[in-house]
Amino acid sequence: MKNNQKTVVIGLSGGVDSAVAALLLKKKGYKVIAAFMKNFSDTKNPLTGDCSYLEEKKMAQRVASKLKIPFVVFDFEKEYKNLVMDQMYKDYQKGLTPNPDISCNTIIKFPLFWEEAKKLGADYIAMGHYARIKKVGKEFQLFAGKDKSKDQSYFLYELSQQDLSHTLFPIGNLTKEEVRKTAKSLNFPNWNKKSTRGICFVGKVNMISFLSKKIKKSPGKVITPEGKTIGTHDGVQYYTIGQKVGPHLGIEIKKEFPQEKYYIADKLKNNKLVVAPNGHPSLKKQEVKLINFHLINQKERVPKKLKARIRHLGILHSGNFEKENQGYKFNFDRPLEAIAPGQSLVLYSKNRVIGGGQIAK
């Protein structure tokens, strides 16, 4: 069966990446259907007061019209709020710093999208991610995107063999510059549109203001690693280990203490926030325990020596991966700062994603 007999439903977001991805699929002869995901309608444009998703939807429609491809809307808002956002709030309340972008991919963008796409006769789904999929024998492998400054493989480590088997990433071998150049040459309306930032489908928000709508403030003490009280805070649930301390976070350091640069070192169960000056040993950790661990290929024998990333586009740090009786752990070759429980540690063998897990408290 030739490509022109295959149907691909692409997630068209309104951004330039998915627009060029749709173009490339059409050029390869696929029957392309554009699907816009409506996942979150609470974010408003501060200038117009309109729901932000409506602007994105209009742009996606313009692109679909230009490419002369059908346009549909997949409404996953109920599932997104119940399965992604509600869990995010629960995790913050537990003192964790979750990554809803990863959950969004694992729960919404790939499995739910695929179920809806199949109803339209899809053979594949596609996304405008900077990542690559290769089939080696009977196994599907996930690789980082060619553009290291835009690589999105960190967010995709929870995908399964089944997910990868019917997914295409058309721009994985391109750089952002090449994507924009292609879009500009064809006069796409979004060729110079800024990349989206912040939470997946929510956008860039002030996290403390955003969280305070669901999680009440619970003022507590700010202490040093030695236990001395030096200030106050609005509630440990609002903060991330490694953050720089300041009034912008609702953290006040008493004037009688040195007004140096403090960073969040720990969040204690009794609502005390531990802060330390730059370079303090309490800011660094070497061993990380992992929960909810996932391997892209469940049958793979994972090598001990690997590299790991603790945040999107973060540096790849070498270390040793070990399986314990009750789970998994990763020992970095050198202690690292800003290791935040709730975030994900993703394992790489060169530029191939092995899998990963959530950093345990």
Active-site residue identified among 32, 122, 164, 200: 200
Tokens of 119: 């109803």
CA nearest to 284, candidates 241, 344, 329, 230: 241
Rounded distance between C-alpha atoms, residue 134 and residue 137, angstroms: 10
The backbone torsions φ and ψ at residue 316, rounded to the nearest 5 degrees and listed phi first, read -85, 115
- The b-or-e profile of 147-158 (16+ CB within 10 A means b, else e) is beebbbbbbbbb
3-state helix, strand and coil shares in percent for the chain, rounded to the nearest 5: 30, 30, 40
Strands 31-38 and 71-75: parallel
3-class DSSP assignment, residue 101: helix
The backbone torsions φ and ψ at residue 301, rounded to the nearest 5 degrees and listed phi first, read -90, 110
Whether residue 51 lies in the annotated active site: no
Active-site residue identified among 63, 104, 107, 296: 104
- What positions carry a catalytic annotation? 104, 200
